[in-house]
Structure 1
Amino acid sequence: MVLTLTTFLLTLLSIPLLQKLYTLFYNAFLHPLRTFPGPPYVWTDWYKCYNDVYLNRNWTDVLKELHEKYGDVVRVGANELHFSNPSVYNDLYSPTHRWDKDGALYRVFNQDESSFGYLTYREAKARKDILAPLFSHRATCEMQGIVKKHLDRMCEALGKREESSDMLFALRSFSLDCITTYCFAKDVHASSAEDFKHPLVEAMDAAVPAIRVLQYFNPWRKLVFGLPPWLAKLTDPNAGARVELQDMLLEQVKEFVEDPKRMEQTSNPTIYHRLLDPSNGPVPSLKSLHDEAMSLFFGGAESSGNVSMLGTWYILQNPSIESRLREELREAWPDLEDMPRLEDLEKLPYLTAVIKESLRLSPSVPVPLPRVVPPQGATLSNHPIPGGTIVGMSLRFVHQSEEIFPDPQTFNPDRWLGPDASSLNKWLVAFSKGPTNCIGQNLAMCELYMAFAALFRRFELVLDGTRSEDLTYSEGFLPFFNPRHMRAFCRPVEA
């Protein structure tokens, strides 16, 4: 009897092991992607995790090496391909394609019922169509006063400081104030914090490295995000502000759902004016409303701050670029008390070129955005790709292509002003492309125009010992910069 029970238990335990061994054998010798070149052991599905988490290497650096060794198409996972030919980017993320997202990455953020978190094209598009009018160029122009208000607050704080300022946190604080007011009519006054270290800014900064790990251990994410608020604060010192934000947005959602007339009291239209309008379709669930709020908050609070900080660094490295930008701004903005409107700033050719070049050299979302090839399969880079394959491409392979952008590591705004400049616009993919591109790009561009204009018209900027190595970053979903960041003295100009 004992022998029989032991044998039975051993048999039960051996089944998962045999299944795993068969999966490894299938991935290595029978899988449809077995003929694509790639590194050893990629069929284990742990190759990326080993490089990303254990070796702490940026995945795009690894991808660059793999493509140099194996060519334009590389197998980077048991069922995943990565491409390096820039022309493939527009195929992968084409508006005509309606490929679903791969949940292994997108489920990590615990925003499953949002325009960002929905995996299917149909669900994501339906939600985006509702929100789109709020984020149109016209709507952004109409609400640019919100951006101007928070820009003035940031500039006032910068101008009062005798010591240098953390420019990354300053510009992120500005973006944070903008997105919370624009989307939720809530002002968190991030730019008023000492040295711009608002708890929410620090909490967002600390959250990026966690994403790098959680994407490989997806079952843990519900445990991590599902902790009671009091326990989350105990286990993570930076979680307090994030939990308070979640509670604030959830409370606002509940108030508007219970009494829609409360929306009449907000200082400006919010996302809830769109989502809770019955004429736009069924009212989303409480979870979906909260997921959308968190998605827009995190999507809008970091990227433009990163871009404007890096762009400022590049400008300060080249006195001729800085001088030319300042000259254009002084001509367009002669009276410091009367800042031009967004529509006028957008007409400035050199400022626009500076912003485009800053977007090109910024990591933005550096990691590939994975898509799932439909069941009928597809042809990419002249290769037939089986249905169900996960495919992706980092924007780094577009923005740093020597064929498209000669001398790609050099910050050169003039490349956007030459006779062939108009043909380059399709290769600027900082906001991605197609049906799943960044819904808030018009607001982000408004922030960039105003931030660059204000910094180089209202201040003399002097770096405080910042070196290029201080601007290195690690990749989560977003970049996580060296903790020193960029520091500069911001001395107000008189005229």
Structure 2
Amino acid sequence: MELWTLLKLLSVLFVLSVIGLYVYRMYFDPLAKIPGPKLAAASLWYEFYYDVVRKGRYTWKIWEMHDKYGPIVRISPYEIHINDPEMIDEMFGMKTAFFATESHELHRIRRGVFAHYLSKATLLRLEPGIQSVIDKLVSRLEGLRGSGRNVNLLDVYASLTGDIIGQYAFAQPYGLLDDPDFSPYWHKLIMGVSPNGHILKQFGWMMPLMKAMPPWLVKIVQPQMMTLIEFQQEFRRQVIQAKEEITRGEKPVGQETIFYDVLTNDQVRPQEKETDHLQDEAQTIIAAGSVTTGNILAIASFYLVSNPPVLGKLQTELGNLMSKTGPLPKWQELEQLPYLTAVITESLRIGYGVSHRLQRLFPDTVFQYNGYALPPMTPVSMTTIFLHDNPTFFPDARTFRPERFLEQPSLRKYLIPFSRGSRQCAGLNLAYCELYLTLAAVFTPGRFTLELFETDISDVETKHDFLNTSPRLDSKGIRVTIN
């Protein structure tokens, strides 16, 4: 057979296979009756266009789908999205659902390895160490008082949370707060890595290929991917260093350290101590433990500074407590403050936590919703942004109003900034500890005053979903001066 004839035959077969796949997905697939755009049902390229080409905008396209088609839509050939706050418990129940990335049993084992180190009881013991890092932040800000210099709170708080989690994970404080400019590269590094998630979702083969290529070629072909590779290599280096220190009989001094304790714990399976696995865990813990909480702290600070009545109420409450406890109240004491708790809850609501949709599988049951029956193992997702901005439960949703949670405490059940159920973020206790202690320290009455510098709501509102929330791409951050 001539080459040209073979190529024509292959081309015809390819076109027929594409047409056949389209016909199947449109008319014979078990999900064919679920409403939604035909292009989204036909191909993952629809999602690719909005999340890669349009830079993290598929979330807002899905919102438009719900406006047009109703509370259940087919957003890809395989995935169904639901926008209904009353479905939160069923979607995120402890016994019914799990992520597609690994088996539920394997996740349970691996989560159990780290659960102790991120438990509230452990963090209460570590609170003095966390407070000492916050004290360093306060000292830095006091040193800038009256200087007229502006600082980016996204960098400031990412440095704070990065130093805290670095010390706790590897006994290696990164010294981010010591940098005169609050280490802007750190926040930029993690946010620069985030968009790669959309690319790797579409092209899972790309990361192994990039790792096999010479670094100089990766930097030319896909510089963003090189940033991710270097990010992973650094965590691998830290894991290997921890193993070598243990081999030499060295032990971190001063506090419990997550990865040292995991590596020396005889109850932890050998599989969970493998370098590749611990590298992945380190990336998740360090990245999630830095930018996500840091972003919420920056957003909370913006809304407090731009709402004097809200800030006044908070500082009155803090002042009343500190008149009894002194200038450094404990985490458990701060948790009892209703207005501070409402401020933190509203900050988590309006800042979302994670912007990307949360996906679940139901392996053994037919998922029933709104008259539709989804086969077992169908990915079903919900999105924090849609729930937190739901106009029925949160009227005037983009207005920062902590009072809504004092008036209706039951509204908290519609919030999922840390997800919920068996896949709830393991670091939520650390996040809450940092939120309470940091906001109390920074906004202690009479200490110093933050004033916004060339910053408005467009620097805060989420406009791109890179798994982490992102404002408009040309934003210079949430900048303040200290007086």
Q: Is the pair's TM-score, using the shorter chain for normalization, greater than 0.5? A: yes
2:206 to 220, 235, 245: 220
1:129 to 92, 108, 112: 112
Counterparts of 2:189 and 2:78, CA distance in 1 = 34
Indicate the SS of the match to 2:270: coil
1:415 to 375, 398, 404: 404
Which letter maps to 2:467?
F
Give 1:29 deviation, angstroms: 1.7
Corresponding residue pairs, total = 471
CA 440–381 in structure 1, closer or farther in 2 if over 3 Å, else same: farther
Which residue number in structure 2 is paired with residue 49 of structure 1? Answer: 48
2:427 to 430, 435, 440: 440
* Deviation readout 1:374-404 (Å, 9 max, x if unpaired): 2542223453112232210001222122232
CA 180–92 in structure 1, closer or farther in 2 if over 3 Å, else same: same
Counterparts of 2:217 and 2:4, CA distance in 1 = 41
Which letter maps to 1:19?
S
* Further displaced range: 231-240 or 360-369: 231-240
Counterparts of 2:139 and 2:196, CA distance in 1 = 34
Aligned residue runs from structure 1 range 25-424, under 5 A: 25-45=23-43, 46-56=45-55, 58-101=57-100, 103=101, 119-161=102-144, 162=147, 163-224=149-210, 246-258=232-244, 259=246, 262=249, 264-272=251-259, 273-284=261-272, 285-334=274-323, 338-374=327-363, 376-418=365-407, 420-421=408-409, 423-424=410-411
CA 149–244 in structure 1, closer or farther in 2 if over 3 Å, else same: farther
Counterparts of 1:414 and 1:209, CA distance in 2 = 35
Aligned residue runs from structure 1 range 431-470, under 5 A: 431-457=418-444, 458-470=447-459
Counterparts of 2:139 and 2:217, CA distance in 1 = 38
Counterparts of 2:420 and 2:482, CA distance in 1 = 36
- Give unmatched runs, 5+ long, in structure 2: none
Indicate the SS of the match to 2:267: helix
Give 1:315 deviation, angstroms: 1.6
Give 1:360 deviation, angstroms: 0.6
Indicate the SS of the match to 1:194: coil
Is the Cα contact below 8 Å between 1:180 and 1:186 reproduced in 2? yes
Indicate the SS of the match to 2:449: strand
Which residue number in structure 2 is paired with residue 115 of structure 1? Answer: none
Counterparts of 2:443 and 2:156, CA distance in 1 = 15
Indicate the SS of the match to 1:475: strand
Which residue number in structure 2 is paired with residue 20 of structure 1? Answer: 18
Give 1:54 deviation, angstroms: 3.0
Counterparts of 1:159 and 1:279, CA distance in 2 = 46
Counterparts of 1:53 and 1:128, CA distance in 2 = 31
Give 1:14 deviation, angstroms: 4.2
Which letter maps to 1:474?
H
Counterparts of 1:283 and 1:37, CA distance in 2 = 43
Indicate the SS of the match to 1:173: helix
Counterparts of 2:254 and 2:158, CA distance in 1 = 23
Indicate the SS of the match to 1:488: strand
Counterparts of 2:63 and 2:307, CA distance in 1 = 28
* Further displaced range: 157-166 or 336-345: 336-345
Is the Cα contact below 8 Å between 1:83 and 1:392 reproduced in 2? yes
Give 1:141 deviation, angstroms: 1.0
Counterparts of 2:421 and 2:128, CA distance in 1 = 29
CA 376–323 in structure 1, closer or farther in 2 if over 3 Å, else same: closer
Which letter maps to 2:425?
C
* Deviation readout 1:157-214 (Å, 9 max, x if unpaired): 2222320110111011111111111111111111122322343332112222333333
Counterparts of 1:327 and 1:227, CA distance in 2 = 59
CA 149–453 in structure 1, closer or farther in 2 if over 3 Å, else same: same
Which residue number in structure 2 is paired with residue 427 of structure 1? Answer: 414
CA 81–247 in structure 1, closer or farther in 2 if over 3 Å, else same: closer
* Deviation readout 1:232-271 (Å, 9 max, x if unpaired): 6677778888666644533342344453564633432222
CA 52–279 in structure 1, closer or farther in 2 if over 3 Å, else same: closer
Which letter maps to 2:433?
C
* Deviation readout 1:388-442 (Å, 9 max, x if unpaired): 3221000122212223223322211112222x31x22322210001111100000
Give 1:71 deviation, angstroms: 0.5
* Further displaced range: 166-175 or 392-401: 392-401
Alignment of 1:486 onto 2:478: yes
Which letter maps to 1:484?
K
Is the Cα contact below 8 Å between 2:115 and 2:426 reproduced in 1? yes
Is the Cα contact below 8 Å between 1:140 and 1:443 reproduced in 2? yes
CA 465–337 in structure 1, closer or farther in 2 if over 3 Å, else same: farther
Counterparts of 1:188 and 1:448, CA distance in 2 = 20
| Identity %, equivalent residues | 28
Counterparts of 1:124 and 1:80, CA distance in 2 = 22
Alignment of 1:477 onto 2:477: no
* Deviation readout 1:268-309 (Å, 9 max, x if unpaired): 222221354122333522211211111111111111111111
When the two structures are superposed, what TM-score results if normalisation uses the length of structure 1? 0.88
Aligned residue runs from structure 1 range 4-19, under 5 A: 6-19=4-17
Give 1:12 deviation, angstroms: 4.2
Counterparts of 1:231 and 1:327, CA distance in 2 = 58
Which letter maps to 1:68?
D
* Further displaced range: 228-237 or 271-280: 228-237
